[in-house]
Homo-oligomer: A and B are copies of this chain.
């Protein structure tokens, strides 16, 4: 069962048919182990090397600087833990952007909890764009790693990576960027942007799930995350996900060719979404920066209603979207990204993320715009809140829960 309209391209993307077809060859025809000496293996090794060169080329790197991984998350873990453990002699301080994906935040928290790291989380203003001065100010003589994502997965905001990396370089601090949402969607050149470590993930640009890559600048030492048979020149052991690597490289090649088209096409559709929503629905706000933003990303907050319900109603109408509400995130808390740009929990619960992709059409946008007002209205009809009860709705201090009458019960905090 699939949705008729897919507006959640930041969550994942379909594999392009030509990519899938090429991958299939590496299951059926070229299935050798690249570590094997004979033809069946060596011919595959050559293809993996070619894929590595393609990926390197796509971001202005050298093939030796590319390490394939089992996901964007693994690439992030490898970068954060690897850099921290390798540089621990110099210091134990990490500067982490507050809006990072859990794939970056959780490794940081792990290092704080278990391996003596001190982590400073720096936050942006309400547009989500980080002021590079905030990084400069957070630096101590113990700082060994700065990690700032290139583009945010929830609000699409693009960070001033070049400015931040310059600060890192001036202080001789390793700079990592999670570019999982950026690579394949906007132009990325590791030299121009001054990046030491960069993570990407194939399924965000029409490649397969379960394969990513980490760019590791020449000369950078990184502590290994996965030890074993010394594949990836000892940096990431395990028999190579050959088909996945081929798929990643091919998808990236195609995605990069389409960047200009996508920029034009997606921004145009996205602007149509934004205008349509803001013009036709009351009590809604547009979240994030209007300019420094991924072309296909639109993010809103609707008052008085809750995001999971919104997503489910749109789903029933055949439209796939997502929300940063607590319920839809399953983490029992609303998106830390939305809270991190100063939104209240209530506003965050009412969020809706729409992310367009290369095959999105104007017709789809129009259908979405036709469906959405009715859904919002229906949910608002059902809501105990409205403009008249604004105060009760916005009041974050008062606890409306019966838990007040039963002070030994604190389930309300989790509800």
Q: Say yes or no for A14: interface residue by CB 8 A criterion.
A: yes
In the complex, the count of this chain's copies comes to 2
Q: Which of A31, A42, A208, A210 has most chain B Cβ within 10 Å?
A: A210
Interface pair A209/B37, CB less than 8 Å apart: no
Asked whether A70 and B238 contact (CB < 8 A) given A35-B11, A103-B228, the answer is yes
Partner of A38, one of B3, B107, B224, B330: B3
Which residues of B sit under 8 angstroms from A33, Cβ to Cβ?
Answer: 8, 11-12, 203, 209
Interface pair A228/B28, CB less than 8 Å apart: no
Asked whether A71 and B239 contact (CB < 8 A) given A208-B27, A210-B210, the answer is yes
Q: Say yes or no for A140: interface residue by CB 8 A criterion.
A: no
Tally of A interface residues using CB under 8 Å = 82
Interface pair B3/A40, CB less than 8 Å apart: yes
Interface pair B209/A241, CB less than 8 Å apart: yes
Q: Say yes or no for A306: interface residue by CB 8 A criterion.
A: no
CB pairs A–B below 8 angstroms (11 shown): A32-B320, A35-B330, A70-B238, A73-B226, A73-B237, A73-B238, A76-B228, A106-B228, A107-B227, A201-B239, A210-B239
Q: Say yes or no for A196: interface residue by CB 8 A criterion.
A: no
Give, as a whole number of angstroms, the nearest-CB distance from A19 to chain B. 7
Interface pair B239/A37, CB less than 8 Å apart: no
Partner of A102, one of B1, B3, B17, B230: B230
Partner of A320, one of B39, B85, B229: B39
Interface pair A241/B71, CB less than 8 Å apart: yes
Give, as a whole number of angstroms, the nearest-CB distance from A10 to chain B. 10
- Residues of chain A having any CB pair with chain B under 8 Å: 1-3, 6, 8, 11-15, 17, 19-20, 23-24, 27-33, 35-43, 69-74, 76-77, 85, 101-104, 106-107, 109-110, 114, 201, 203, 208-211, 224-230, 237-244, 308, 311-312, 314-315, 319-322, 328, 330-331
Residue on B nearest A42 in the bound complex, by CB: B1
In Å, the complex CA distance between A210 and B236 comes to: 12
Interface pair A31/B13, CB less than 8 Å apart: yes
Partner of A31, one of B12, B228, B239: B12
Partner of A241, one of B15, B36, B211, B227: B211
Asked whether A315 and B13 contact (CB < 8 A) given A73-B239, A238-B72, the answer is no
6 more A-B residue pairs beyond the given contacts A2-B30, A13-B31, A107-B228, with a C-beta to C-beta distance below 8 A: A15-B27, A20-B28, A38-B321, A70-B71, A109-B227, A225-B225
Interface pair B237/A106, CB less than 8 Å apart: yes
Residue on B nearest A19 in the bound complex, by CB: B27
Give, as a whole number of angstroms, the nearest-CB distance from A371 to chain B. 13
Which residues of B sit under 8 angstroms from A228, Cβ to Cβ?
Answer: 73, 76-77, 101-104, 106-107
Which residues of B sit under 8 angstroms from A104, Cβ to Cβ?
Answer: 228
Which residues of B sit under 8 angstroms from A43, Cβ to Cβ?
Answer: 1-2
Interface pair A315/B38, CB less than 8 Å apart: yes
Interface pair B41/A28, CB less than 8 Å apart: no
Interface pair B37/A322, CB less than 8 Å apart: yes
Interface pair A70/B241, CB less than 8 Å apart: yes
Asked whether A103 and B238 contact (CB < 8 A) given A11-B33, A40-B6, A312-B37, the answer is yes
Which residues of B sit under 8 angstroms from A15, Cβ to Cβ?
Answer: 27-28, 31
Give, as a whole number of angstroms, the nearest-CB distance from A70 to chain B. 3
Interface pair B37/A308, CB less than 8 Å apart: yes
Q: Which of A106, A240, A242 has most chain B Cβ within 10 Å?
A: A106
